[in-house]
A and B are shown apart, each in its own frame.
Chain A
Amino acid sequence: MGKGKTRIANSIREQRFHAGEMTQQQLADAVGVTRQTVIAMEQGRYSPSLEVAFRVARVFGKPLEEVFSYEDEA
Chain B
Amino acid sequence: MSFHEKSNLAVLALLTLVFGVYFLWLMPQMAVADPLPPPAAVAGVLIPFVLCLVVLIGVVHLVFKLRDLKEKGEADERDRLIETRAEARAGFMLALGVFGALTLLLAGAAPFWIANALLGALVLAELVKGVLRAIAYRRS
Contact = CB atoms under 8 A, between A and B. Distances in A.
Interface of A: 1-3, 32-37, 40, 45-46, 48-49, 52
B2 interface: yes
Interface residues of B, number: 15
Given A34-B78, A34-B79, A45 B139 contact: yes
B69 to A, nearest CB: 14
Contacts of A45: 139-140
21 contacts: A1-B81, A1-B82, A1-B136, A1-B140, A33-B77, A33-B78, A34-B2, A34-B76, A34-B78, A35-B2, A36-B1, A36-B2, A36-B78, A37-B76, A37-B78, A37-B79, A46-B140, A48-B77, A48-B78, A49-B77, A52-B77
